[in-house]
Each structure stands twice: as structure tokens, then as C-alpha cells.
Amino acid sequence: MELATTLEGYVPDPGPSLGLVVAHEGQRCRWIFDPQTLCPANARQMAGQFTAFLLGLVANAEQPLARLALMSEKESRRLLVEWNDTPAAVPEDICVHHAFEQQVQRTPAKVAVVCRDEQLTYDELNGRANQLARHLVKLGVGPEVIVGVSLERRTDLFVALLGILKAGGAYLPLDPSYPRERIAFILEDAKVRVLITRQHLLQPDLSPHAVRLAIDADWPQIGQESVANLDVQVTPRNLAYVIYTSGSTGKPKGVMIEHGNVINFFSGMDARIGESEPGVWLAVTSISFDISVLELFWTLARGFTVVLYRGEIPAVPVAKDGARAPGRTIDFSLFYFASDQGEYPQDRYRLLVEGAKFADAHAFAAVWTPERHFHAFGGLYPNPSVTSAALAMVTQRVKLRAGSVVLPLHSPIRVAEEWALVDNLSKGRIGISIASGWQANDFALKPENYSLRKEVMFRDLDIVRRLWRGEAVLFRGGDNKEIPISILPRPVQPELPVWVTAAGNPETFRMAGEVGANVLTHLLGQRLEEVAEKIQIYRRARLQAGYESEGHVTLMLHTYVGRDRQTVREKVHGPLCNYLRSSVDLIKNAPQAFPAFKLPNPAVAEKVEQGMKGLSAEDLEQLLEFAFDRYFDASGLFGTVEQCLELVDRVKEIGADEIGCLIDFGVDFDSAMASLELLDEVRRRSLQASGGTDYSIPALIRKHRVTHLQCTPSLARALMATSESREALRTIQKLMLGGEALPPPLIAELKKIVTGEIHNMYGPTETTVWSATSRIDGDGADVHLGRPIANTDFYVLDRHLQPVPAGVPGELFIGGKGVARGYLNRLELTAERFIENPFPGTRSPRLYRTGDLVRYRGDGNVDFLGRVDFQVKIRGHRVELGEIETALAQHQTVREAVVVSHEDSSWGERRLVAYVVLKGSGSDNGGPSNKDLQKHLRQTLPDYMIPAAFVFLGRLPLTPNGKVDRRSLPAPSSERPTLEGDFVPPRNDVEEKLCRIWESVLGIRQVGVKDDFFSMGGDSLSIIQVAVQAEKVFGLRLSIVAVVQARTVERLAVYLSASQAREAAGWTTQAPSSGQASTVAVRKMCEADLEAVIDIHIDRFPEWRVTMLGRPFLREMYRWFMENQGGLTLVALDEGKLIGFTAGSVGGFKRHVFLRGLPQIVRGAALNPLPLLKHSARRILKRVGVMSGGETVPPAVVRPDVADNNIMALSRPTDRGGVELMLAFEEAARQKGVQPHFHESAQRPS
């Protein structure tokens, strides 16, 4: 600002972009601006605002300057009135369900909802919702009654939501994946009187005062109600739903939305996206997220077909979403474990024989029979080899398996020989599950093995496997001399299929993985979620031990399928209770070893811990009833076909491969056989749904010709990651993006792909879903929030609640018919956030204070600039940082914590970072790791609220007034975070490349091969980034499931190496290593190669016993490899001469040793390398003795010639997967000045 004697001809000094020149007498002034910086229109606007300020100052000299208006009356009218000119006619007398019922009248036969293989027409959906509503009314549901909904995404979710509304109630969504403590708090805070869920999700101790309604198990009763519409006295002023959002005080808060709010929202959407004919809408959003109201209710009120996507992010086909559960098919087997002979013992074996015939004729995978001694419980089956031999005579195809062989009770010679005989009788159909045993009485057969039974089991398993393969194993004879023993008859299968029976001990699962066995387990004393964790332990152990395949998990379930659930319950109650009663004797002396009974109360628990000696008849009956309820509700395949399919889905989802259906627990023969027909329907329908069906978002878009999709920018970004997803998006007619800020770079990419409309959607939950929208035209460079929808007002105000001019930032306040009633049971917070409208004469009595920082453009559109508080959006979810800070502060080592969000520059994602100050000297004395703090937070917070990174500080920076200075917090370090293990650098090329990918995605400078992906801040979106980058680097599509299961670079590198080998579908040329004269080609074996492979085998392995069996045996053996185990990989020189082969999967050796050395050294895969080593050692050029584990190991080291600078090694790996031996070879190579080159077995010999 400058004073001038005259304004005429005044020339300002160079430099300023804007200046105000005031005449000396003070009566006149002139604005001078740089047109390169400020446009004339804005300059005139600012001059007008200055004039308004001066006039206000003269008129109100006593008014504080901050409260003086900056706008003229005309400009104020434009901002407050003209830009809020959004009146629209809205029905005043209908509720949400009424709008749906009107659509039912228009299109009763049209398909309303689709979820995988389920669908309902409008009329069917309406009828089922009416039936549920009538049942709810009887339970006391009516206007203002809140009903909790905790359901997975399927068609009955629509039935539940509409049924609640029709009964007059308000629904409260509870995501089943939320932490238990969070669900418990919400149920209690909302005073939920009725909770709708599914049988397997019932948790009686959560909100014990609420009535629980299992929509699946209770439907036979619900289905008796009338399908006609109800006449319930509910009005637009009544609650429609309550949705809990993150709360700054540390606890979530419930937003109350009325029917009238939603009906007004419907009108707003009609004007913005509803001009075209109703199409097909793909619904991808959780009902705990309020944008689902558009997907589920507006659509059904306007005649759309809604396709429900059941999965969660990641939703792209990096890994296919198969069948009813992602990516998995599942086998069905019959399992026998009869508790006694009963009144007609012949019927017991009749069920065994006839059931086995049924399984054989209906493509069941196997028939399992157990081993049980000296007790009625399972007493019909003392020897499964005898039982299986009998079944071999009456079946042709079904596998015959022992579940289980208690190996410490027997000689491994006898086990191997008996089952070799049955293998011949069945023509190669047997398998055994070994067990250590737990009942002391059984060990009358071998009492000396009881105390060390688990160690004996794994020791003898190795012996049985060696005998099965044809090795001669040394045993002591009667004269105490060692004699070599081999078994006869020779079995048909070259490798014995082995399971390990695992009850509830995670260590058993781990050990099963390490020895390369399959797993047989059950739900006795275990929940599915617990079994899922143990399966992951098993899979990781297999991966770490070097096995290529993920193994096979069989889950035993008591099974009975009927026409309705109540009839099934009545049919199995008596037999199953008697079955459990017969087991009581077994657990009296060892209750801790038998986890079937979860104890109902402390008094009973105390008696059980005393050996159950004090159990009265009443106690026993209580225990049995409790066990029955648990079995029936959560641990058995009981109910209708549909209900059983739901449990099958869940079994697939935890990673199991087979369900062993235990059918002989006391149900009469005729009923049990009739149930098998329905069980076969379960099997067939599960298989049909699993037939490679892809249920990813792109697949659903293609299959159903989806026209409309609403999602968060985070999900849209994920969908842009693959070509398949991008192609699917091309067909979308309207794409709605909202829930978080929309980055312009993402829009630019989407505009290149999406040929239909793209809309940016904005609105807080407190103003009913979306309050403003904008259609993005052109190249997408200009992204804004748009203008308010029908009957909605926007006010951009300063901290004194004065409107700010266009172009000036201010906080957005929203008024109109979408404003919620307030927060449930939070009067003070409601008064703070929902204020009285300071502008009289407008239609909005209340305004909602959003906390969003925005500004008006000159054309009335609104720009989003950020937040004025500490609320952020993470993957579309609203997060109050204070809630995370409160949860962190409850950790015993944390003194202070602050959480902020940082933007990941690589993908534009926002991630949470926690800054933590520890108590005392915790930071210097082994403080908590990232994993410790994340585990603590997951007890109360959903996954999207878990910080990706933790920064430990000595103190938090403060402002001069003592508040935390968030701007001074250091940026998250790119250094490796505090983890549990030491840093281990990459050791080969694959690990090196994976570490670089992880460092790029996670923003961490140093990633070790043993570092846990999720402990370093990885999440679902970063998994996708890893998969995308890995595909570019390795040329191999990487499964998202593989990243989740591997968790470390080390294990993922093993997976990738194995996957690369499996990907070879034709000849692929590999560059020669140093010193090689020619290239090597690789391809899969076919039938035409069979004789050549046999020639190599006979030429190179003449001393092997299998070779002595002759060419016919070898031909059958290698043909079996091709048909059942993925065949062989053949290796040839570039001139086409076949020089060797490796096996893709041969029993215990899933990958075989490949040798390439001197011409006289075998160039093939050794099925059992130990005899070859012994036979060939004297003919190898040099023997090198190396110390390993205290023993001298004589590996074969081959140096082909002087020019070839490679050492080729063939060895039997040690108990730790050959690591020590490999290190020893490397040391020997270093001393010789040569480069080691290994083709080592990925699995230990068994």
C-alpha cells in the first residue's frame, strides 16, 4: 500500500504483483496488479471486497475487525442464496422401503439382486423381506428400535436390511471382520435389542441382552410368515439406519439418519446419475460404509439389477477369485469312527460297505477308517489296513485311507508291508494319516513308546517311507545283529501318500509341513479361525523346508444333511450326544489331551481339571448339551444343502483342501444313506461353483454387463493395475468415485480407459451419503467437488462463522434435508458439530460442520483443499486420528503417541504413520517392535486404522503454547523399521530383485530377506503394487495369496523360483553359465518321450532296485508321473540331444536333483540320491570331507574340466534343508577358486 500525491500517471515500482495506491488526501485509491499473476475479474472482486470492508467499518465502528463483512450484499446473496438454489420436489410421505415396494409393483419379475449362483427377483426379495419383518415385529422391533446386522455379503443381506426397515426399525451395520472389542462396544453403545447374523457368526457373550436371530438357522420359522406387505406406522422422521464412524475421543460414534434424509438423497441422485434407463449395478462396498446406501437402496428403488461382489480389496485378477470361496476347490470324503456296535452291529459295517460303494460311484475322493483299541469309542476299527483291504474288494476308484495309523504302537516294517499289500489290492489307491496316539490304554501294545510317542512317530515315519521306496533298512535280529530289511510285496505307488493327524497343537502342524506330509485335523476344540492360523503355519513350514506344493489339508466334520435344519437337529441330537458320552471314559484320565469339550462354566472346568472324577450325572448332561450345541452350530456339516454350502465356503476360505464327512455317529442306517444323497448334492454344487469361475470385479463386469460402478479412488487405482481390469472398465457407462480425495493423475489415467461418464462424489456420513457431485469432462485435469445436490446448502465460512468470498479458503458447513439427526447418545458432540444456522431466512435450521477446508470457485463449484482438524480418509474410510492415538496410549510401554497421514508419492495413497514416545528408557531397552504395536491395535481397531509405520521419538515437538507441533514431526524414515529379527541381506538374484521391489513399494531403504511384509507397513494395496512390479521384473504373474502367505522375501523367492519352473510349457532357451559351450533347452515331457526317459534311467541307474523290476514297471512308473504329478522336465543341448530330466513332483521329492558334469556322471534326477552317492563315490574325481552338524559328510564334487569354472554338487540334504552343506560347498569352492553351481532338491528325502 502506498500514498501518492496524485493517481493520474502513477507508475508503481517493479516487483509487487498487487498494489493499492491511496491519494494523499485519502479520498481516492487505485488497485494496481500484474495481469500475469492475477486476472482482472479477481482483481475487481478483491477491490469490491475492500470497498465492502470499508463501508462496514464506517457503519459499525465498534465491530471487531474480524467480524466485518468482506462482501457486498450482492456477492453475499450469490454465495448464500443463488449458489444454494437447489429446490427439488421430494415425496413427503414415504420411507425407503416404500420406494422399493413401488418398484416391486412396476417390475415384480425382474431380477433384483445377484450374488454368485444366487439371485432373487423383486417380488421374491420383497416377499422374503416381509416375512422377516413380521418376525421382527414379534420380537419387538418397531420405529426407533435399532437392529444390528452382522452378515457376509450375499442375497440375504438385502433381505435383512429391507426386513428391518419394513418392520419400522433402523439397521446398524456391523462388519463381521471388525475386532471383537469394537463390535462389543458398538452393540452396547447403541443399546441394540435385536441382532441379525448367521449361525456361525453368533457370539453369545457379545451384548448378552440382545435377541439373536440367525437368518439361516431360524429361517424355517421365519419362512412361515406371510409374504404380503406390512402396514407399520413409520414416518420419514423415523430412523432408517445408524452408522458408526471413527471418533476423535478414542471411541466410534453413531450417526443417525432418518428416512426423509435418504428419500431426499434419492431425489438428488435422480438428477445427477439417474437420467438413463436402469441398468446393472455392481455393488462393491461394505454396508458399514454409508455409500452402500446408493448401491443397495437407490438402485432397488429405481429398478436396477444389483450384482453383489462378495470379496474385499484386492479385487483384481492378479489371483483369481474362484468359486464360492476364492481360488479353491475342495474334495469330499467319507470318514468312519463308530462309537460302539449298537443294537445291530451288522448295520454298522453295512453302513461302512454301502457308504463306500456310494462314495465310489459318486466321485467322492476317499473313504477314511480309523485305528482305535480297547474301547467302544471308535472300537469297530482296530486296524484300518484290514478295513481298507475289505473295501478294496468292493470299490474301484475311491481312495482308501487310514485316519489314523498310531505309528508308535507298531513296527514300521509291519505298517509298510500291510499297506503295500492293500496298495496292490486296490491298484494304488491307499494313503495313511499317522498319529502319535494319546490314550494310555492303547499303549498296551507298546508301553515303552508312550512317553516319547511324538518323537517315535516322526522317526518311524522316515523308516516307513524308506521301506516303501524299496530301500533296505537295517534292523536288529534275534541275535542282536543288524540285518537289512526290505518289504514285500512291492507297493504300486512309488511314494506313500502320508498325512499327519493334528489336533490343536500348532507345533504338530509345523512339523507336518517340515516333513512334507499332508495334514488331517478336526474342529474338536478348535474354531475355524484357529484352524486357519494353523494351516498358515503348516504352509509356511512347507515353503521354508523347500517343498514346492502347498500340501493338502483334510478337515474332519460330523455330517448329516437334511431338508430343514430343525429336523436335522432333532435327528442328530440323541445319536451325537450318545456318541460324545461314549468318549467320556477316554478323557477322564487325560482331559487336557482331548479338546472336544469347551467347558461351560468354571465349576465344571474345575471338576474336569481334577480328572472329571467329581462329575455328577447332571454335570455330565450339562457338559454334553453344551458340547452338542457347539458341534451342531459351529463344528459340523449339519443342515440343509444351502446351509452346508455356506460352511463349505468357509472351509475353503481357511485354506482346507478336503472335508472328511464323519457319518457313522449313531444315526440309523436308512437315514444316514438318505443323507448321503443330499451330501452328494452339496459336493456337486460346490464343485460346479468351483469350476474355475472367476468372481473378481473385472469378471463380474463382463459376465453381467455391468453399466454402473461406484468405488473409492483407492479401489479404482487397484483396478487400473492390470490389463484385464482396465479392459473391463472400458464398458462401464457411469463410474462414480468418492469417499476420499480424487487425485488428478488417477483421473487422467481413467479418462484414457473409461468411455462412459466419470463422476466425482463428495459428502460426509452426517449429511447422508453424497452432498455434491461433479461430472468430470475433458481430459480430467480440472477436478472439483461440483455443486450441492437437491435441497442441500453449502456455506464456506471462516472461524467466526462469516462467509468468505469466492476464492478464499474456509470451512464447509452443509445444510438442507440431508442433515442427520445427530450422534446417537452423544448430545454434547451433536451440539458441537450440528450448529444453529447463523443465516436467518434460509431453509436450513441446522448446519453440519464438516471440518473440510474448501473454497468457492467463481462459477459456484467447490474445490476441496484438505482438513481443518485431524480427520483423514484412508481407502475411503473416515478415520479420526485421535481414536488411534488413544488406542496406542493404552499400550503398556507407550507414554505419548501422535498419528498423522502421509501421502505415498508413488501411488498417491495416504498411509498412517504413528509417532511414539516410550515410557522411561524403553526406547533404549528393547522397546516394542512395529509388529507388537500393530498386534495391540488390532485388538480394538479395524485393519484400515492400523499405522503402516511407527517412528520412535525421545519427545514430541511442541508449539509455543504447548500443543503438539504436527508440522515439525519428522518425515517417516526410509530406514528399516524396528522389527523382531536381525537384518539379513539378499543372497541371490531373485532375493535381490524382490528386495528392491519391496523397498520401492514400502518406501524403505533397506529390506532384509526375513523381514515381515506387514510389519513393515504393507497393506492390501501395496500387495497389488508388489504383484504388478514382480510381473514386470520376472515375467511371471504373482498370486496375491502367495505374497500374503510368504510374508518375507526369502519365502517369496522360493515360491517364485518354483513357479518359474512350473511355467515352462514348451522349450525355453537358457543362456549358458560361465564356461559352458552351448545353450540348454528345457520343456515338459510328453508320451513320445517315455522310452527315451526309460533308456536314460536304465543306462544311468542300473543298480537301483526299481530298475531291476524291468522296463514295464518303469514305463508305468513314469507314465504315472506324467498323469498324476505334473510330469517331468526334460533337458537337451541346443543340438537337441536329450541329456537329462528333473521331476516336477514325485512324492517326497517334489523337485529332484539335476546333475550336469562329466559325461560319465549321471545327468538326471535321482529319485533317491543316497544309493547313487554310495555307488558312484569311488568313480568321482575327488572327494571332499566337510564337517556338518558334528558329522563328516562326503559330498560328491565334480569339476568337469579346467575350462569349466563350475562345481556341480549332488547330495542328500541335511535335516535343515541342506543349508549347512551348501555353505560347506561354497567354502570348498572359495578355497579352490571356482564358482559353485547347485541344482539341489527342494525337499528332503523322507
pLDDT, one tens digit per residue, over 890-903 is: 888 887 888 888 76
pLDDT confidence of residue 105: 97
Cell of 104: 416391486
Residue indicated by cell numbers 530301500: 471
CATH no., domain 889-968: 3.30.300.30
CATH of range 331-565+637-689; options 3.40.1180.10, 3.40.50.300, 3.40.50.2000, 3.20.20.30: 3.20.20.30
SS3 labels along 166-212: HCCCEEEECCCCCCHHHHHHHHHHCCCCEEEECHHHCCCCCCCCCEE
CATH no., domain 96-222+233-308: 3.40.50.12780
State residue 399 phi and psi, 5-degree precision.
-70, 150
pLDDT confidence of residue 257: 97
Cell of 487: 518289504
Crossing angle for the helix pair 669-689 and 345-361, to the nearest 10 degrees: 20
SS3 labels along 408-436: HHCCHHHHHHHHHHHHHHCCCCEEEEEEC
DSSP state at residue 631? I
Cell of 168: 419400522
Three-class SS of residue 1031?
helix
Q: How far apart are CA 64 and CA 53, in angstroms?
A: 12
Residue indicated by cell numbers 542282536: 480
Q: How far apart are CA 609 and CA 691, in angstroms?
A: 48
pLDDT confidence of residue 1042: 66
Cell of 910: 495416504
State residue 1187 phi and psi, 5-degree precision.
-75, 130
Burial class (CB in 10 A: 0-12, 13-18, 19+), 721: buried
Residue environment code for 890-907, b if the CB has 16+ CB neighbours within 10 A, otherwise e: ebebbebbbbbbbebeeb
User: What are the angstrom distances between the C-alpha of 574 and each of 578, 628, 669, 848?
Assistant: 6, 10, 15, 60
Cell of 14: 517493479
pLDDT confidence of residue 1226: 42
Amino acid, res. 614: G
Q: Which of 1021, 1020, 1031, 1039 is nearest to 994 (CA)?
A: 1031
Q: How far apart are CA 613 and CA 592, in angstroms?
A: 14
- Contact assessment for residue 204 and residue 187, using Cβ atoms and an 8 Å cutoff: no
Residues lower than pLDDT 50 in the chain: 1, 312-327, 343, 586, 588-600, 604-605, 607-608, 611, 905-907, 922-924, 1061-1082, 1105, 1125, 1133-1135, 1143-1246
User: What are the angstrom distances between the C-alpha of 984 and each of 1050, 1055, 1217, 1218?
Assistant: 10, 19, 18, 19
pTM of this prediction exceeds 0.75 = no
Helical spans, DSSP H, in 545-564: none
Three-class SS of residue 551?
coil
Amino acid, res. 134: R
- Contact assessment for residue 306 and residue 112, using Cβ atoms and an 8 Å cutoff: yes
Cell of 847: 448446519
pLDDT confidence of residue 1167: 34
CATH no., domain 989-1062: 1.10.1200.10
Residue environment code for 365-387, b if the CB has 16+ CB neighbours within 10 A, otherwise e: bbbbbbbbbebbbbbbbebbbeb
Q: Which of 867, 985, 870, 979 is nearest to 930 (CA)?
A: 979
Amino acid, res. 885: E
Cell of 1061: 519352473
Q: Which of 868, 854, 866 is nearest to 803 (CA)?
A: 854
- Contact assessment for residue 900 and residue 913, using Cβ atoms and an 8 Å cutoff: yes
Half-sphere exposure at residue 192, Cβ-oriented, CA atoms within 13 angstroms: 31
Cell of 475: 534292523
- Contact assessment for residue 408 and residue 436, using Cβ atoms and an 8 Å cutoff: yes
Q: How far apart are CA 906 and CA 952, in angstroms?
A: 24
pLDDT confidence of residue 884: 85
> ∠259-260-262 over CA atoms, to 5°?
65
Q: Which of 436, 433, 432 is nearest to 457 (CA)?
A: 436
Taking residue 48's Cβ as centre, other Cβ atoms within 10 Å add up to 16
pLDDT confidence of residue 909: 61
Based on C-alpha coordinates, what's the Rg of the chain?
Answer: 36
Under 8 Å CB-to-CB from 1012, ≥6 apart: which residues? 931, 979, 980, 1047, 1048
Three-class SS of residue 1154?
strand
Give rounded-to-5 percent helix, strand, coil for the chain.
40, 20, 40
Domain boundaries, the chain: 2-84, 96-222+233-308, 331-565+637-689, 889-968, 989-1062, 1068-1238
State residue 754 phi and psi, 5-degree precision.
-75, 120
DSSP state at residue 504? S
Under 8 Å CB-to-CB from 754, ≥6 apart: which residues? 729, 730, 732, 735
Question: pLDDT tens, 383-431?
Answer: 999 999 999 999 999 999 998 899 999 999 999 999 999 999 999 999 9
Q: How far apart are CA 821 and CA 165, in angstroms?
A: 17
pLDDT confidence of residue 29: 78
Residue indicated by cell numbers 428391518: 164
- In whole angstroms, what separates CA 850 from the centre of its chain? 33
DSSP state at residue 1087? G
